Amino acid sequence: MTTHHTDTSAHTAPATPAHHSPTVRGPLPLGADPHTSRRNGRVLVGAGALLAFVSTMLPWTWTSEFPGDLTIALYPAGLQLLTLVAAVLTAALLLASAGVRGLRWLTPGGKHSALLLMALASLAVTWYTAGAIAVELGGLVNLEPGMWIGAAGTLLAVIGALALPADLAPETGDDAREPAPWARLTHALKAPSPGRPAPLPDWAEILVICASCALGLYVFAYGIEADGGPPFIGFLMLSAFAFPALHRTGLPRRLTALTAKHRGVTLAATFAAALLFPITQSNEAYTNIAVSVLIFATVALGLNMVVGLAGILDLGYVAFLGVGAYTAALVSGAETSSLGIHVPFWAAVLIGAAVALVFGLVIGFPSLRLHGDYLAIVTLGFGEIFRISVQNLDGDSGPNITNGPNGIPNIPDLELFGFNLGEPHTLLGFELGRFANYYLLMLLFTAIVVTIFRRSDNSRIGRAWIAIREDETAARAMGVNAFRLKLMAFALGATLAGMAGTVLAHVEFSVNPESYKFVHTAPPNSAFLLIAVILGGMGTVSGPLIGAALLYLIPAKLQFMADYQLLLFGIALVLLMRFRPEGLIADRRKQLEFHETGQLDVPDATAQTTPGLPGIGKTEA
């Protein structure tokens, strides 16, 4: 007779996660015990979200002079739409945190922390709108009852969210005193990592990826179409709270696991969404902004290869963009071109890239033997030398090549395969204007640069670049030819910038030396590109693209703040270094470098073999 022994350790129920603990107090308890505080908090959040939703169906002001026309009942517009979205998301997160079936997938990680941030998003947008109406129209008397209802409802939602327990248990220590209110608030904004998701069919995972790309396209299109001033500031406020709330839920990490599994599908869906962008725009001015964003995002990605992968601090990178732009202008057949020749565009691209490559080799060969600040000063000097040189090549101070400070104007539009990109064309029933044509062309160049970046990063050369970036002395000791590989990265980055410059010259009709300074109130400039790489996340693909888009789009929409642009950039960098030093989109290496994770230096076997765990690679970002 065989005796069966039960392994109690294998069947022991797992411990309850900390974010389900009913004993963790919220920052603002509304009851004698946690259960009462939780119940009262949920009631207030639900009532506040409902009031905020109802307020968007009522007029917020009596006159249409305020941007967005907030005077029509049952027709939300402008900033009302942002409050409406925030109220709906707050209600959805509330139901998900309460365990309502069908919505629990919204919060695989943090529940109450995400709810608190979303309630703060609704409060920020609504109260900012009230203040903007009072300032622009001359007092609180211009607020209609709908505006007061929305302000009261969003305040109730925040108070209720503050009463909810924290997602994580308090840190235990020798000091058993009650934590300060600020400490309780910061702890309430922390969220646990999501657990392993239930498996989905491949078609469902692909559908989730495509839906995420479509949602990203809609958000980007809405941001570009938003009017400058209060509507765009409200959009920024909603984004500043909504995206951290989304991060707390754990959904981005699960999406990252899906994109890592279906990389080909992710790239195809991303570029398909980008291709559809022009048909979502009814105004060519918005497409013009998108073209500029794409150009500078592509150049920032090229700089990311130099700074993010190889660790070379290049402060004169914009000069290579200027080299490509001037080269294309000289061979474009422009009337003011000193060469007086006109070559096909494909030849102009090759010539511009080749000239930028030569400049990169000439500058990089002597300067890359330097390190640190000395190398940065040399590259900064090269950028200024280029600008001063093209400014003096006017026939008086030097040979007449670049037409001096006047630049080369009246650059003709491109013609590709018989299509003049300066004229509107109809494609599949959609009319594409001039900037839409250049947008699609630049999207092709972006795809090329992304492909080069990914292939380089995943190659042996890319791994050597990373080794040099982390510790050049150790890399040399392991047999890596640091100088040759750094020169290769420097030259490749210069080539990509020159290639993008050939398109920039035709988009802007002219090239001018004043456009290629180190620091300027308007892009392109080297400081702008470097900030875009740092802001987005060094060493990633999507980081510089997002960083460049933000840094170009925000000044373009908030032109009334142009005089304070550099000050605001400085403040933004200080805050970024304090709260997010790894950038908005960070790879796993940067996350481990800048944050205490509490994990072992060497992962256990389970973490190495379990798919879908949190963590994001450089090219997956």
State residue 393's pLDDT score.
87
DSSP state of 176: -
Q: How confident is the model at residue 201 (pLDDT cuts 50, 70, 90)?
A: very high
Mean pLDDT of 177-183: 78
Contacts of 100 (CB under 8 A, 6+ apart): none
Q: Which residue, chain included where needed, has tokens 């009596």?
A: 62
Q: Is the pLDDT of residue 4 over 80?
A: no
State residue 13's pLDDT score.
37
**Dist CA 307 CA 79 (whole Å):** 39
Q: Is the pLDDT of residue 601 over 60?
A: no
State residue 358's pLDDT score.
95
Mean pLDDT of 69-92: 95
Contacts of the segment 565-574: beta carbons below 8 A, 24+ positions apart: 565/521, 566/519, 566/521, 569/527, 569/531, 572/535, 573/531, 573/534, 573/535
Contacts of the segment 462-470: beta carbons below 8 A, 24+ positions apart: 462/309, 465/309, 465/310, 465/311, 465/489, 466/309, 466/539, 468/310, 468/311, 469/309, 469/310, 469/311, 470/311
Mean pLDDT of 498-522: 88
State both tokens at 178.
């009650």
Name which of 135-144, 265-274, 585-594 the model is least confident about.
Answer: 585-594
Q: Are 280 and 217 in contact (CB under 8 A)?
A: yes
Give the torsion through C-alpha atoms of 93, 94, 100, 104, to 10 deg. Answer: 30
State both tokens at 506.
């035709």
Radius of gyration (C-alpha) of the chain in whole angstroms: 27
State residue 42's pLDDT score.
95
CA distances from 490 to 294, 358, 540 (A): 22, 11, 17
Tell me the sheet residues that pair with 511: 408
Q: Is the pLDDT of residue 477 over 80?
A: yes
More confident residue, 617 or 438: 438
3-state secondary structure of 7: coil
**Dist CA 388 CA 316 (whole Å):** 13
Q: Which residue, chain included where needed, has tokens 């009913």?
A: 22
Ramachandran angles phi, psi of 8, nearest 5°:
-65, -30
Q: Are 295 and 504 in contact (CB under 8 A)?
A: yes
Mean pLDDT of 466-485: 91
Q: Is the pLDDT of residue 352 over 90?
A: yes
Q: Enter the pTM of the model.
A: 0.85
Mean pLDDT of the chain: 86
Please name the helix (run of DSSP H) or strand (run of DSSP E) that holds residue 268, with its range, or none: helix 263-276
Please name the helix (run of DSSP H) or strand (run of DSSP E) that holds residue 8, with its range, or none: helix 8-11
Q: What is the DSSP string of 491-529?
A: HHHHHHHHHHHHHHHHHSS-B-GGGS-SS-SSS--HHHH
pLDDT tens track for 305-331: 999 899 899 999 999 999 999 999 999
Please name the helix (run of DSSP H) or strand (run of DSSP E) that holds residue 416, with its range, or none: strand 415-416
Amino acid at 587: D
Q: Are 444 and 288 in contact (CB under 8 A)?
A: no
Name which of 34-43, 379-388, 612-621 the model is least confident about.
Answer: 612-621
State residue 595's pLDDT score.
61
**Dist CA 525 CA 515 (whole Å):** 7
State residue 12's pLDDT score.
37
Q: Which residue, chain included where needed, has tokens 């984004």?
A: 239
Count Cβ neighbours within 10 Å for each residue of 559-568 and write b for 16 or more, e otherwise. eeeeeebeee
Mean pLDDT of 56-60: 96
Mean pLDDT of 84-101: 95
More confident residue, 421 or 609: 421
pLDDT tens track for 568-593: 878 888 888 888 888 888 776 666 66
Give the torsion through C-alpha atoms of 137, 138, 142, 148, to 10 deg. Answer: 100
Q: Is 322 exposed, middle or buried (0-12, 13-18, 19+ CB in 10 A)?
A: buried
Q: How confident is the model at residue 525 (pLDDT cuts 50, 70, 90)?
A: confident
Q: Is the pLDDT of residue 1 over 50?
A: no
State residue 90's pLDDT score.
97
Tell me the sheet residues that pair with 342: 332
Crossing angle of helices 565-579 and 526-536, rounded to 10° = 30
**Dist CA 548 CA 543 (whole Å):** 9
State residue 362's pLDDT score.
92
State residue 590's pLDDT score.
65
What phi-psi label fits residue 303: left (phi over 0), alpha (psi between -120 and 50 degrees) or beta?
A: alpha
Q: Is the pLDDT of residue 3 over 50?
A: no
Asked whether the bond before 524 is cis by omega within 30 degrees of 0, the reply is: yes
State residue 24's pLDDT score.
65
Q: Is the pLDDT of residue 113 over 90?
A: yes
Query: What is the Cβ-side half-sphere exposure of residue 11, based on CA atoms within 13 angstroms?
Result: 4
Strands 415-416 and 419-420: antiparallel
Percent of the chain's residues with pLDDT above 70: 89
Q: How confident is the model at residue 9 (pLDDT cuts 50, 70, 90)?
A: very low
Q: Residue 159, Cα to own-chain centre: how many angstroms?
A: 31
Q: How confident is the model at residue 77 (pLDDT cuts 50, 70, 90)?
A: very high
Taken in order 148, 154, 159, 160, the sign of the CA dihedral is: positive
More confident residue, 205 or 554: 205
Amino acid at 502: T
Contacts of 109 (CB under 8 A, 6+ apart): 167, 191, 192, 193, 194, 248, 249, 250, 251, 253
